[in-house]
Amino acid sequence: MKLLETCLAALLGLSFASLAQGSESPSQSSESSGYAPAESCAQCHQSEQENWRHSDHAWAMKPAKNLSVLGDFDNTAFDDGAVKARFFQKDERFWVNIEGRDGFEDFAITYTFGHYPLQQYLVEMPGGRLQALTIAWDNRPEAEGGQRWFSLYPGQSFAPDDPLHWTGRYQNWNAMCADCHSTFLTMNYEPDSDTFATTWQEQNVGCQGCHGPGQQHVQWAKALPSESDDSFSASDMKLLVDFRSMESRDVIETCAYCHSRRQPLKDGQHAQEPYLDKALPATLRPELYHPDGQIQGEVYVYGSFIQSKMNAAGVNCLDCHDPHTGKRLVEGNGLCLQCHNEAPSERFPRLQPKNYDTPEHHHHPAGSPGAQCVNCHMPEETYMVVDPRRDHSFRIPRPDLTLSTGAPNACNDCHQDKDALWALETVENWYPDSKLSDHFASDLSAFRRAEQSAFGRLAGLVRDRSAPAIARATAAEHLGSFGPQAVSPLRSGLLAKEPLVRAYAAGAFAQLSPEGNESFLLKLLDQAQPRAVRDQAWRALAGVDLEGRSEIEQQEITAFQADYENRLASLAALPGSRFHYATYLHQAGRYAEASKQYQQALALDPTFTPARVNLATMASEQGDLPLAVETLKAGADRPEIPDTDRGHLAYLLALVLVEQGNSSAALRRFEQAADLNPDNPRIGYNHALVLGQEKRWQDAENVLAKSLKQHPDDYGLLQAAIYILIEQGQLEKALGYARRMQSLYPSDNYANSVVRDLELRTQ
């Protein structure tokens, strides 16, 4: 395993010492790109500048100076039993003594990152990189448990070669978080040398981070006569983003890039660019969201808000938040009561006039936590140990969905000593006239639980125009795993009004054969489509023969392909984005290039199982069994990889070893796979068949008996048991399994025929 990793690092030139070559420290861009100097805005907009000065945007990133460093660097030691560090000052600079790549060293703090409720610290490293310490300063008041150093991974320690170590790739500022903490940041990543030459226009999130490049506006203002009225249009003022004249959707999408979980589509983003031209937001997939769309992982705000009735009604970010301070316009229930009152705004004609701030509505004592709107309609999750954030889908608590899908509900978030059935009965007693509407949670939950109805539910959801676009896009993404039967509903997705649905429907075709659907996908390459849609359509078309097109079409396709591949390479600084690049090359049939990128993804993160599986699968398909074996062995023997993933790697390794003819080694790997991943019945199925090939009949029966105990209704295991018993001449016993299979799968041809055959043979 170590030999393989060493070879990969040498092959890719990713040794730590080499990173300093051909890279630069992060810095101010030498090109203006239409941006004015940061200090220009304050000359005319002093009150806005003063409000901004104390905001999260202003504190997003600052040089490590006395006024910006909030943590205790007075020779303060930190030791949580897993990680040790000492924070101190020397030569008017701030330092930390902590374990680096080569043991404990002193590292200078170069920048601060954020300010409340926590502040992180950045260290400059070779290769143009900034790395974020995984020990942060808790800036909450001492009475709330703050004013202390704490680990972002409490009780966990990571070896220096682990990508979660503070020097590792997942703590890298350039690729992980920089583009939302600075204005027009470009990574300038060089994928072959794995180095950065990152630049920004403003080090923090300044005025132009939200209003767009302002040089033309500044020039207009300077040329303005001293006596003039204020009746200027955005066009007159050369404003690229004018929030006063924007539709709600455009306001939301201007904020969305930094307030969403998303996949960037290019290096560097301007505020005035349409959101889906610079990013593809994540769907409501497992680990990020609960099946009903409630936040689970660190997904920020956009993905939950676009599910909401608020979004559908035309509410936008600035209805609740001051754009310059970032704070709420009103504290407490008054924020919601701006609209939800007895005389609602004409802007929202469908709002029911009502006094909501009463016990008759919330059924809790006035002033209590249960009487606060947000605690019922915006449940919170805590991230980074001390940072609670609220779900912005503004949902009605649904204990019924807890019972049917396992999604949490706000009632039991507070009343943890009660169960969901109690919560449901309570809500029904409080609101006897309310009717619970159908919810996409049932459809997404069916997929997650592998229920037989999953395909039909997802097919219905992708076509359901009343469902939020992000839920329909999630259904489209999941449908790609159902094979050819998914073509019809996915074609419906390609024709959806919402570009997000079109994008994920197009992307799902990458898991299918696009044959017969080329014309549908080619239409989505039109320049009128958002870049997210075009990119996903092109991924699906990768490797498809597009000859026969007109010369103009061929030229357009060639130009788009070159642009797309350049963007993929420029973004490939993280294991996931490198894997994204590799899978595209794999799909296109460019196997040597794909192999290189898969290996580079593993060099960035040896625990990244998807890259290891794909590389091994591709190598096996191409006949390079030694590479497949070495790739899988390196993962199966790596203890940092979670057991389920490691068990899957061991299982795949066993299959490749069988293909190599090394049955004895394969059988050991089957045993490892079964121990680590007992939930996969295919392990027992193949293990038993290989034992059967070795004539180890009793061992095969033992493996099947153990697997069937855990998966008594699995078709493959029953089939293997029938085969193994017939081969031994144990026909009566085989007939028992056959009848069991027939009862479970009464319309199955194999089950019916084997029962008839065995009944004849045992008469």
> Each residue of 726-752: pLDDT tens digit?
999 999 999 999 999 999 999 999 999
| Dist CA 291 CA 68 (whole Å) | 41
Q: Read off the tokens for 133.
A: 């310490």
If we measure between CA atoms, which residue out of 195, 128, 101 comes closest to residue 110? 128
Mean pLDDT of the chain: 94
* pLDDT value of residue 554: 87
513 pLDDT above the threshold of 90: no
Taking CB atoms within 8 Å and a gap of at least 24, the contacts of 101-105 are 101/16, 101/160, 101/167, 102/160
8 pLDDT above the threshold of 60: no
* pLDDT value of residue 548: 77
Please check whether residues 183 and 270 belong to one and the same domain. Answer: no
Residue where a domain terminates, one of 387, 403, 430: 430
| Dist CA 3 CA 123 (whole Å) | 31
Per-residue pLDDT band for 272 (boundaries 50, 70, 90) equals: very high
Q: Which residues contact 103 (CB under 8 A, 6 or more apart)?
A: none
281 pLDDT above the threshold of 70: yes
| Dist CA 430 CA 423 (whole Å) | 11
Omega before 117 cis (within 30°)?
yes
Given its phi and psi angles, is residue 172 left (phi above 0), alpha (psi -120 to 50 degrees) or beta? beta
22 pLDDT above the threshold of 60: no
CB 301 within 8 A of CB 292: no
21 pLDDT above the threshold of 50: no
Residue where a domain terminates, one of 376, 398, 430: 430
**pTM for the complete prediction?**
0.92
23 vs 436: which has the higher pLDDT: 436
* pLDDT value of residue 229: 64
Confirm whether 51 is domain-assigned.
yes
* pLDDT value of residue 17: 34
**Pairing between β-strand 199-200 and β-strand 27-28 as defined by DSSP bridges:** parallel
* pLDDT value of residue 13: 34
203 pLDDT above the threshold of 70: yes
- The whole-number average pLDDT for the span 671-683 is 96
Confirm whether 172 is domain-assigned.
yes
CB 428 within 8 A of CB 436: no
Confirm whether 105 is domain-assigned.
yes
Q: Which residues contact 508 (CB under 8 A, 6 or more apart)?
A: 476, 477, 479, 480, 486, 490, 493, 540
* pLDDT value of residue 280: 98
215 pLDDT above the threshold of 80: yes
Please check whether residues 183 and 280 belong to one and the same domain. Answer: no
550 pLDDT above the threshold of 90: no
Element (H, E) at 539: helix 531-541
Please check whether residues 137 and 195 belong to one and the same domain. Answer: yes
Please check whether residues 162 and 74 belong to one and the same domain. Answer: yes
Considering its fold, how many domains does the chain have in total? 2
Q: Cα 494–497–501 angle (5° rounding)?
A: 50
Please check whether residues 106 and 217 belong to one and the same domain. Answer: yes
| Dist CA 580 CA 542 (whole Å) | 13
What are the distances in angstroms from CA 151 to CA 77, 157, 429, 744?
Answer: 13, 10, 45, 52
| Segment 49-69, tens digit of pLDDT | 999 999 999 999 999 999 999
| Segment 440-484, tens digit of pLDDT | 999 999 999 989 899 999 999 999 999 999 999 999 999 999 999
Confirm whether 50 is domain-assigned.
yes
Confirm whether 217 is domain-assigned.
yes
* pLDDT value of residue 9: 34
- The whole-number average pLDDT for the span 665-686 is 96
Please check whether residues 185 and 265 belong to one and the same domain. Answer: no
Please check whether residues 187 and 288 belong to one and the same domain. Answer: no
Please check whether residues 217 and 248 belong to one and the same domain. Answer: no
- The whole-number average pLDDT for the span 692-703 is 96
4 pLDDT above the threshold of 60: no
| Dist CA 452 CA 454 (whole Å) | 6
- The whole-number average pLDDT for the span 206-213 is 97
What are the distances in angstroms from CA 469 to CA 307, 361, 464, 504, 575?
Answer: 8, 30, 9, 10, 28
| Segment 392-439, tens digit of pLDDT | 999 999 999 999 999 999 999 999 999 999 999 999 999 998 888 899
* Cα separation of the two ends of the chain: 56
Residue where a domain terminates, one of 430, 449, 478: 430
Please check whether residues 255 and 200 belong to one and the same domain. Answer: no
567 pLDDT above the threshold of 80: yes
Domain coverage including residue 310: 243-430
DSSP reduced 3-state for 699 = helix
Confirm whether 209 is domain-assigned.
yes
| Dist CA 735 CA 758 (whole Å) | 6
Please check whether residues 154 and 251 belong to one and the same domain. Answer: no
Please check whether residues 216 and 315 belong to one and the same domain. Answer: no
Report the range of poorest mean pLDDT among 327-341, 537-551, 712-726. 537-551
* pLDDT value of residue 11: 32
6 pLDDT above the threshold of 70: no
Confirm whether 749 is domain-assigned.
no
Confirm whether 554 is domain-assigned.
no
How many of the other CB atoms lie within 10 Å of CB of 339?
17
Please check whether residues 281 and 367 belong to one and the same domain. Answer: yes
